[in-house]
Structure formats: structure tokens, C-alpha cells
Structure 1
Amino acid sequence: MNVTKKFGAFLIVLAVTSSCNVSNNAIVAHRGAWKKNNLPENSIASLRHAIDLKLAGSEFDVWRTADDSLVINHDAHFNKMPIEETNYEDLIKFKLSNGEKLPTLHEYISEGKKNNKHTLLVCEVKPSELSKERGKKTALKTVETIKKLKADKITCYISFDYEILKQIREVDQKAVLQYLEGNKSPKEVKSDKISGVDYHFSVFKKHPEWIKEAKENHIILNTWTVNEASDMDWIIDHKFNYITTNEPELLKERLKEKSNLLNFKNKN
């Protein structure tokens, strides 16, 4: 099976069932795998490291500049300049801490396709700080770029802006979409053809019934940003599909320890 077909099959599994063993507790590196090696967040290097670790996913954030370039950065500002009101050429005058320039979406996705047989590209489309319509247009341009690069089957989309996700659904009926805000039940997102809920873990602790509801309605369960071992253990025990973390190496250890303990109990 080639990479595209393999990822396509994986996404179909996630969209259809939230109880399949293949997807339980899969690790998503938040802004790439950056922390342990002191790499810049959302850099090509942090993406590459997530892929090299063979993680299930690597998350990144998309903004659109004043001159319509799609760039990867978490905050609305880069080097104190508002990204949405600044041209791309002015932004790249300033380097990331490892010497990289601010990556474009095209560059980032192109790198994400290289030597990658395991890692889903988790694309967060940031809500515009200028207007709702601008955010929706950014979403359309993001989807267009990813489709042109033939990476749509290895990409899923997340956003805090529900209208952005609905806009993506209008143009792509097969895209895997996850909502971030934490203010809608799994049944509500299902009714709008949103594939999953990706909420802060505190939301699920406040609404544990949503975990069961998501599984019963075949809605993907993801949670962010889980960095403490005790929180990781709680999420692991509840068999989420994805766990988004700044500490993928620690989460790998917790999953291995939990698996070893389970195997020991089964043998005895």
C-alpha cells in the first residue's frame, strides 16, 4: 500500500470508529516535537523530529499574511509584527532560533510528505483577528494548497472557529475535521458533519459524559495540551484516539509503562 492510500485508510478508520485499537492513545506532537531538543515551535526541524519519532501526528498553525502568503506560526504576531497585516518578505527578515526562516505552508507540507509513513499532519487554521470572512478565506486557501500538494489524505484540520470547519466541509466532504473550543457536545459536532472533538483535557474532566457520547457516536476524541504524567494517565485510561502534547517522549514512556502493566496483569 502506498503512503497516500495507507493514510487514507487510517483516516477512514478514525472517522468511522473511535474505539478501534489502532487509534487509541495515538501521540500528536503539539507544534511539532520541539521541547526536548530545544527546537523552535512550528519549525521544519520540529516537524521532521516528530516524523523521525514515528508519532501518529504533528500539529501546526496556519496564518495568512497581508499579501496572501500562508505561513506557519502559533501566535498572531511574529517578531512583534502582526502577521495578518504584514507582508511575507518583511516577516522573513527575521529568523527562527535555529536559523530557519518562517516556513510557508507549501514548504511545511512538502517537508511533511518526505520519508513519512506514520505521521498525520494536523493543520490548525487560526481564526482571523481581522474578520470572520478573512478566516474562512484563509481556510479555503489552506485546503487548496494542501490538495495541490496531494497531501489531503495525510492531513486533518482543526480550528477554534466552528465556521472555519464548516467552510472546509463545504469544499471537502472527506476531510477529517476536529473542533477545539470545547463548547459543543459530540452529538452537536456530528450533526454538522465535524469528525471529532479536540478539547482541553479539563473540558473532558468537567464533562466526562462527552467521552462516552463521542465513542457512541463514532466521533474522534483528541485532547490538548497534555504535559503532566498524571493527566496523561487519565487520558490513556479513557482510551482517547489522540493525545496532543508538548512532551511526546514522556507520553511514549507512559504508554509503554501502561502497556507493560496491562500485559503483566493479563499473564497473571
Structure 2
Amino acid sequence: MKRFLSITILSLLAINGFSQTQIIAHRGYWDTLGSARNSLSSLNNAIDLGVYGSELDVWLTKDGALVINHDDDYEGVVIRTATYKQVSALRLVNGEPLPTLQQYIEIVKKQNATKLIVEIKPHHSTESDVRAANAVVKAINESGQADLVDYISFSEAICNELIRLHPKHRVAYLNGEKSPEELKAAGYWGLDYYWEVLREKHPEWIKEAKALGLTTNVWTVNRLEQMQYFISQGIDFITTDNPQLLRGLVNEK
């Protein structure tokens, strides 16, 4: 009987989401001395903090390297049209080089608690988006760390390719205009929407998504009151620049 109840509880969690709101550090836990957004140190800090995931942004250079950076360019160098040699000469504000996806994988594979939340950036054409998605999946699959990766993107082409490559990929959509029903029909794992979408425009989408077995994530939530609101709504994930504050709130529940 106890075994049956345990299986039932686990099944319900798998269908309806997580029993407790999970924390995703936006571009890592970077707001600490000596760190920077999307840096190796921010990833290590997120792992040390024990959060569910560390979010990062990936670009494919013209010669096939997968580089971590938020914007299309860094200090005027457009990453998707540059070579890795050009990009590797750049430095973050803490002095680190712009990291590669492979460097992130090498760090995350030493543990099994914190996942990489890999945002594949739109590469300005469907063909380029598909190429970037394939390059990222290939690198992650070859590393043997697919279980430690969730995927997110604003690009439908990227998301569709991720789902096509493997229907079990954990893929969440960022753009905010698709209803839970549309996401479910397209094979998504979940939604990952800006906080205004889920609080002001479509607050009903949280419950609707959960009822459909989709996960729910909200970004970028940095204020205490916002955190409290989304925790009260039973959101599965909160993406934040202040993971330490959020951890304190989650642990109070």
C-alpha cells in the first residue's frame, strides 16, 4: 500500500509539476564579488547555492563554436558572424573570457543537482536557428549530460527543431503569446513567460498549463512582492537575478 501511494504521488508530481517552486539563477548567480553575468564563476556560484538551474544564453559562431553571451554582440563583435578566435579575445567585466558551452558542461557534469537552462538565441533566420539548435543538441548529447539540460528559446524554429530531434527534450517557450493549449499541442514541456504575461495579461495560464501537464516558469522576477505572488500561485520555476533572496522565501514554505 505504501509503495502504491508513493508511486501515485510521484505520478501526480510528474503530471502537475513540482511540489515546491524551484529557483533558476538568471545568467547564473552573478551578483557576487568577482563574478559576472554568463560567466563560469556565476555558474559555480549557482551550483554552490544549490538552485535547480543556472540559465545561460548560447550563440553559434560562424566557424561552429558555441559561445555564452546574452546579446547579439559583445563590445561590437557580432558573435554569430565572428570566428571563435575573435570572440575568445573578449573579456567579461570580471576578466574572464566569454565562456563556451563546452566549458559549462565540464563544470555541470561534476555534480547532479543544478541543471543548465540553455537559452538558444534566435540567429536571424530559420536556417541559422535550426543549425544552432542542432549544434547545441549535438554538443550536449556527445557530453552525455542531456539529463542535466532544459532548453528555452524565443524562436519557434529552434523550439520545433529541439522537439523534432527528440520529443522528450524539455523545451519551454519564451515569447509569451502562445496559450497552454497551443504549447501542449506542439509538444512543448512547458511555458516560460515574462512576469507581466502571467500576472497581468493571462494569470489563468498558470493553472491551465498545470492542468495540461505543462511546467510553468516566470522571468525575470527580482522583487520580493513578485516572488511572494508567484510562489502563492504554485509556479514551478522562478527565474531571478536574486536567487539567494528567493531561496529564503521558498525555504519558508
In the superposition, the TM-score normalised over structure 2's length comes to: 0.92
Deviation at 1:198, TM superposition (A): 0.2
1:123 touches 1:157 (CA, 8 Å); kept in 2?
yes
- Structure 1 segments unaligned to the other structure (5+ residues): 1-11, 260-268
Alignment of 1:205-244 (within 5 A): 205=199, 206-244=201-239
> Does 1:91 pair with 2:80?
no
The Cα offsets for residues 184-242 of structure 1, whole Å up to 9 and x where unpaired, read as 01111010100100001110111111111011101000010000001001000001111
- Return structure 1 stretches of 4+ with deviation > 6 angstroms: 12-15
- Give the equivalent residue in structure 2 for 1:181: 175
Distance 1:223 1:41 in 2: 19
Deviation at 1:35, TM superposition (A): 1.3
Say which SS state the counterpart of residue 16 (structure 2) adopts.
coil
- Give the equivalent residue in structure 1 for 2:4: none
Q: Number of residues paired by the alignment? A: 243
- Give the equivalent residue in structure 2 for 1:255: 250
Q: Identify which of 189, 192, 195 aligns with 1:198.
A: 192
Distance 2:13 2:130 in 1: 23
Distance 2:32 2:97 in 1: 21
Q: Identify which of 64, 68, 73 aligns with 1:68.
A: 64
Distance 1:43 1:15 in 2: 33
Alignment of 1:22-101 (within 5 A): 24-37=20-33, 39-101=35-97
1:200 touches 1:224 (CA, 8 Å); kept in 2?
yes
Structure 1 letter corresponding to 2:15: T
Say which SS state the counterpart of residue 50 (structure 1) adopts.
helix
1:15 touches 1:220 (CA, 8 Å); kept in 2?
no
Alignment of 1:118-157 (within 5 A): 118-129=113-124, 131-157=125-151
The Cα offsets for residues 151-197 of structure 1, whole Å up to 9 and x where unpaired, read as 11110100001121110111112210000000001111010100100
In the superposition, the TM-score normalised over structure 1's length comes to: 0.87
Q: Identify which of 3, 6, 15 aligns with 1:17.
A: 15
Structure 2 letter corresponding to 1:144: K
- Give the equivalent residue in structure 2 for 1:103: 99
